[in-house]
């Protein structure tokens, strides 16, 4: 069971705890996601061949676990952050990657729109190069695991999230 405070000293850990390039166990990852993701979290990847939409904390956390399963020392570096008119929303440019379990290397550039609510990741839309992902993960593996996670973990669109008029 996750500790209510989370990290050392009781503070809540955020997404940087997961993506800091340090290997963590699956149990540690699940604890981090419980702390970092809002219950109604949504993660969207509209640039993939089949656009991705993970709905709910469980689906988003399982998606993040997939990334760390193949790239266990994944880390990101912020290039720039761009504030928006909405205080809880920021657009960032970052680079990330790390060695894969297959002996290769994952390298990616991300442009992400991230909205927080109650100090947790609420809505994330990430634009990246899907071909880099397919190369590192294997396209068939990636697409089958994404489909499996979406089918088993996605929940109905939460009332707390505005509908997306351009949802793909």
**pLDDT above 90 as % of the chain:** 64
Number of structural domains in the chain: 1
- Residue 5 within a domain: no
Q: Which residues of 76-85 are buried (b: 16+ CB within 10 A; e: fewer)?
A: beeeeeeeee
Q: 122 and 89 in contact (C-beta within 8 Å)?
A: no
Structural domain contains residue 161: no
Q: Residue 60 falls within a domain, yes or no?
A: yes
pLDDT value at residue 39: 95
Q: Which residue has the tokens 């729109």?
A: 113
For position 99, what pLDDT does the model report?
92
What CATH number has the domain bearing residue 70? 3.10.450.50
Asked if 124 and 41 touch (Cβ cutoff 8 Å), the reply is: yes
* Residue numbers in the chain where pLDDT is lower than 70: 1-24, 26, 167-168
* Res 73: pLDDT: 84
Would residue 162 count as lying in a domain?
A: no
Within the chain, residue ranges assigned H as helices are 15-18, 26-36, 57-70, 130-137, 139-153
Q: What is the pLDDT of residue 11?
A: 57
Residues 151, 166, 16, 160, CA torsion sign: negative
Q: Which residues contact 125 (CB under 8 A, 6 or more apart)?
A: 43, 44, 45, 46, 112, 113
Residue 13 pLDDT: 61
The parent domain of residue 134 ranges over 13-153
Residue 168: inside a domain, yes or no? no
């Amino acid at each position: 069971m996750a500790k209510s405070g989370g990290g050392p000293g009781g503070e809540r850990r955020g997404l940087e705890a997961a993506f800091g390039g340090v290997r963590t166990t699956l149990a540690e990852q699940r604890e981090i996601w419980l702390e970092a993701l809002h219950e109604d979290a949504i993660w969207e990847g509209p640039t993939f061949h089949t656009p991705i939409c993970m709905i709910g904390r469980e689906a988003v956390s399982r998606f993040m676990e997939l990334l760390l399963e193949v790239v266990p020392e994944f880390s990101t570096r912020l290039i720039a952050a761009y504030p928006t008119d909405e205080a809880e929303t920021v657009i960032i440019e970052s680079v990330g990657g790390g060695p894969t379990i297959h002996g290769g290397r994952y390298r990616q550039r991300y442009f992400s729109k991230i909205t927080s609510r109650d100090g947790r990741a609420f809505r994330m839309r990430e634009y990246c190069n899907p071909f880099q992902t397919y190369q590192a993960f294997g396209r068939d593996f990636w697409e089958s695991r994404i489909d499996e996670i979406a089918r088993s973990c996605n929940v109905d669109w939460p009332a707390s999230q505005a509908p997306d008029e351009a949802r793909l």
